Every structure is written in structure tokens, then in C-alpha cells.
A and B are shown apart, each in its own frame.
Chain A
Amino acid sequence: MTAPLLLVEGLHKRFGGLRATDDLSLAVRMGELHALIGPNGAGKSTAIGQITGEIRPDAGRILFAGRDITRLPPARRVRRGLSRTFQIVQLLDEATTLENVALAVQAQQGHSFRFWRDARRDERLRQPARLLLLQAGVEPALWERPAGDLSAGARKQLELALALAAAPRLLLLDEPMAGLGPSESRAMTETLRGLKGRMAILLVEHDMEAVFALADRVSVLVDGRCLASGPPEEIRADPAVRAAYLTEDEEG
């Protein structure tokens, strides 16, 4: 078996007395769609934050493509091919949809110490940005609107376009369906299905229908630790998982 693309080993993170990440180990293979599920407050977003470098772990290490990135600053990790979306969208609300993506494209074209040319008319930025918007399923009618005016669904799609601009080898999606209506959720599921196989994806999601429709493997996080990891059918049948998470979810 080939080495995993992402390998998380013995990760720890405490917030005061709370163990948000408690000896977490996790492997994401090349090209797979790996779902990370778990109840609210299980530490999923905290884990994503440590993988992307926003949160510094107390202990443990993170290997990406065989190299230790535990201490690498977040922006440098993006350039290595690790990009993410946020559970609570982080957009440039005053800029238009297209300008948001154009900046993401710009980030891929080397440094931005370019002081003279008008970036907002630069087709080398706008053309790739349009393709990304199409890929993420953002309606062309919204492209010239300020990102702050978009609906929750469109904002989630825009987040995806921004993450795709980095041409990631591993895409980390923190609840891309949260806050979407049923039809928007289905559209997002289809978009993700289209991306599947072209890059590895670590998908954090509460929408079990989407998870079991998309995932190659599922890991279950409870109280900061990985309870089980395996193919979807196996996870669905796992009594420990059912006890800790799935049944609770069905009752609730």
C-alpha cells in the first residue's frame, strides 16, 4: 500500500481544561474522499484548524505528502497543496464574487508585490476565476454582486471555488452543506461527486445522506479522538459508533 497523503499522528490540543483533540491519529489516502463525522463539539473543526495550521497543536505531528508540516505557517501549507473551506464562511464581503476568486487565483501566481497594473481588469486573473466559479456551481448572474449580498447557499459554493483555486492535492471541507436547503445540498453533493477522484478530500459533514453517498472511508471523531475508521458499511454497522453517535443522531 502506498503512503497516505495526509498522516496525523498523536495530535493533542487543549483549550483550558477541555481536550478538544485527544491523541488523534488519522490517515487520508491519495485521491480518496474521506469523511470525518462526529457529534457537535467532537473537535472536527479543531482538527481541521490544526491540519491547515491556523491552530497550533500542543503535541503530535502532521505529515503531508511525506513531509512534516506541523510547524509550517498556514499560507505555506496552501502552496503545498492543502486548502480548506470554513464552517462559518470567510469571504471578502465588500468585493464581488468574481473579485474574491480572482484574488484566490492571484495567490497562485506568485507574490503580489505588483503595484501598477489594474488587477480588476486582468484577464489572467478573471478568466481562471470564471472557470472556478463554474466548477463550483456559482450562478453567473451572481458574479458581479458583492459577496456579502449572496445567499447562504451561494456563499458556500463561493467558498468551494476559493478553495479549488489553490489546485489542492487535499481539500478540507468543513461542513459544506451546513445551512443549505435540500436542493442546494443535493447540488453541492453533485459538485463534490464531480471533484471526487481528482484530489483527496477530507469532508466534515453532519448530513449523513451526503456522507454515505460520497465517502470512500469514514472516520468517527468523539471527544477529540478517533473512535473508528473504515469503509462506510463497516462504520454504519459498528456497534461502538452506533452507541456513541449514529443512534443518538437518529433519536435527535
Chain B
Amino acid sequence: MFRRARRPSPGWLVLPPLLALAIALPWAAEALGTPASTGLATRMAIYAIAASALNLVLGYGGMVSFGHAAFFGLGGYTVGILYAHWSWQEPLWGFIPGTTSLPVTLLAAMAVGGAGAALIGALSLRTRGVQFIMITLAFAQMLFFLFVSLKAYGGDDGLSVRRQGEFPGLNLRDAAQLYWLCLSLLVAWLLLLWRVTRSRFGQVLSGARQSERRLQALGIAPYPYKLAAFILSGMGAALAGALMANYARFVSPDMLAWTKSGELMIMVILGGVGTLMGPVLGAIALVGLEYWLAALTEHWQFVLGPLLIAVVLFARGGLMALLRRPGAPGRAQA
């Protein structure tokens, strides 16, 4: 009598065919004579991971982090630095051996990103609103300048990762295989987020966004939950950064620049804040637009800016809101 009928919404029905298309993409690219598309799709998948990670704190938890590039960069540099020490045959700090094994570097990147997020989050989450935006930005800038000053790892010029990461059973020099790896990790990451945002933890997180006072009055102190979400989010962004280092075979302080944080934020807002698939759409749209506009004109940024403003103004809720049937309930915490 009380139960609401739960049929899968139309949105869920389009996911399997979309996934099939995504899997088939490298073959299609080959057949159509545009093998570069596979690389483009790889970047989309990587940024989709990073944007979804940001969305966990920004969209679900209401924490407007303007420093998520820090974790993206930490992930990238973990891969770069482990590679460098491997190539120099000289352990980091005398006891951490370098490696190019991808499972190891990805896990290490997530550990480093998580630790960075724990530290930055523990301090920043004591503040709210504009203060929180500024303090996360400040921490990211500190890390940015730290890596600029680390001459051993290339400083300003960055660090080349000359050897592709090794993954058992895969040949990652093959663009398609690297793409499938990134796609699999994206799907796994989205599944995790899908469960987490619906769990008890997710309810607390979404409660913290709506009213911390209410949460306190229910007997829940929001801070530890917000911090846990921030750490999980940092790990996701670091995973994306590590994949980007493998894809681009290069890391540089640009990965931690505030403009990168801004790009991640734009992807989330463009796609739809607080929705599972929104940041994925946002990443696809932004990476795609940058690519095609850059091919058309060198002043692509002047075209992109107004386009973004148009989406934000005319499609509140981002691309996800445009896709939903008009009249369908558009609850932010979906």
C-alpha cells in the first residue's frame, strides 16, 4: 500500500546500448578512417572520471571545491615520479622503488590523492561558502607552485613518461586497449558512485548539502561524512590524473593549475550537478567542443565561453535536464 512502483526509468534503458556503442568505438574509428577519435574518447573517459569525482562533493555534498585539479595532478605526478625513479634505477627517498606497473601506480596514485584530500579536506571543511572555495583554491595553488619548484621532476617543463604503464594481459601502447581500460575504470567508478550516493552514507551527504543544522538536530555531525566524501572524491580525481599521465605520457604543473579545477567544475555544471551521468555528459561535451572548436579557429575560447553561458542560462540543471522529458521530476539528488 505504501510502496511506490519502481519501474526502471527510461534513462536506465538507454545505458546498455550507449555502453555497447562506447565499447565498439575504436573499431568504428578504425573503419571510418579516424583512428584519432579513440584518443579523443580516451580523454573524455578520463575527464568523466575526474568530473564525477568532483560531482560527489560538489553536487551531492554541496561542497564547492575549486581545487580538485590538485588531486588530478597528484595522481598524474605519482605515475610520473614512480616512472622517473624506475628509469633512474634509484628508489624514491632511498626506499620506494620506481615502477611502471599500472596496477601499482594507479593504486599508489589513489592513495596519494586520498591522503592529499584527507589533509586539505580536514582543514578546508571547517569553513563554508566562499571561504571554502577560496581555501581549496589556495591549497591547489600551493601544490601547483610546489611542483613548479621541483626541478628534479622537470619543474615548469613537466616530466615525460617515456614508458607506457604495464597492465597484465594488456598492451597499453595500443590506443584501443588503453581506451578500453579507461572506459572500464569509468564504468566501475560510476557503479561505485551510484551505490554510494544511494546508501546511508549518501543520504547523510545529501542531507549535509540541504541543511547541516537539520543534520545536527537529528544527531548526525556532518563533518566526518563530508571529509570521507572529500577523500573518496580526491581518490577518484587522482585515478583520472594517473590515467591521463599514461595517456599523454607526460605530466606537468598544468595538471594542477586553477584553470584545470575550473574546467572540471564547468564539466559538472554543464552536464548536470548532482546527477550520476551529468558529469560524464559534461566531460564529453567540453572535451569534444574544445577539440572541434580548436580545429575550426584558434580563438575557440571566445566561442566556448558564450556557449557555456547559454547552457547555464537556458538549461538549468545542465544537459541532463535537457535530456529528461519535460515534466519529469528533476530532483537534484537523483
Contacts and interface: CB of A to CB of B under 8 A. Distances in A.
A166 B219 contact: yes
A90 B198 CA distance: 22
A92 B214 contact: yes
B210 A94 contact: yes
Interface string B193-233: 00110111111101100110111111111000100100000
B200 A112 contact: yes
A86 B204 contact: no
Interface string B281-318: 00000000000000000000000000000000000000
A117 interface: yes
B324 to A, nearest CB: 16
A75 B201 contact: no
Interface in A118-160: 118-122, 126, 130, 140, 143-144, 146
A74 interface: yes
B218 to A, nearest CB: 4
Interface stretch (A14-22, A103-111, A184-192): A103-111
Interface string B312-334: 00000000000000000001110
Contact of A103 (B2, B4, B203, B216): B203
A195 interface: no
A54 B6 CA distance: 39
A90 B213 contact: yes
Nearest to A117: B199
A102 B204 CA distance: 11
A93 interface: yes
A92 B199 contact: no
Bin the interface of chain B by size: 20 to 34
Contacts of B200: 106, 112, 114-115, 117, 119, 122
Nearest to A101: B218
B203 A78 contact: no
A79 interface: yes
A74 B217 CA distance: 7
B218 A103 contact: yes
A99 B228 CA distance: 22
Contact of B196 (A52, A106, A115, A144): A115
Contacts of A94: 206, 210, 331-333
Contact of B211 (A92, A106, A117, A122): A92
B4 A166 contact: no
B213 A103 contact: no
A120 to B, nearest CB: 6
Contact of B217 (A73, A83, A99, A116): A83
Nearest to A104: B218
A75 B211 contact: no
A46 B232 CA distance: 38
Interface in B169-209: 195-196, 198-204, 206-207
Contacts of A63: none
Contacts of B216: 54, 74-75, 78
A158 to B, nearest CB: 11
Nearest to B204: A112
Contacts of A162: 214, 217-218
A30 interface: no
A170 to B, nearest CB: 14
A75 B199 contact: no
Given A99-B203, A114-B200, A166 B218 contact: yes
Interface in B219-277: 219-221, 225, 228
Contacts of B196: 115-116
A103 B25 CA distance: 43
Contacts of B206: 92, 94-95
A144 B198 CA distance: 17
Contacts of B218: 75, 78, 103-104, 107, 162, 165-166
A113 B201 contact: yes
A107 B217 CA distance: 10
A26 interface: no
Nearest to B219: A78
A130 B1 CA distance: 12
24 contacts: A74-B217, A75-B215, A86-B213, A86-B217, A94-B206, A94-B333, A95-B206, A95-B210, A95-B333, A103-B204, A104-B218, A107-B218, A107-B219, A112-B204, A113-B228, A114-B201, A115-B201, A116-B195, A119-B198, A120-B203, A143-B2, A146-B331, A162-B217, A162-B218
Interface of B: 2, 4, 6, 195-196, 198-204, 206-207, 210-211, 213-221, 225, 228, 331-333
Given A75-B216, A84-B217, A120-B198, 9 more contacts: A73-B221, A79-B219, A83-B219, A92-B206, A92-B210, A92-B214, A114-B199, A118-B198, A118-B199
Interface of A: 52, 54, 73-76, 78-79, 83-84, 86, 90-95, 99, 102-104, 106-108, 112-122, 126, 130, 140, 143-144, 146, 162-163, 165-166
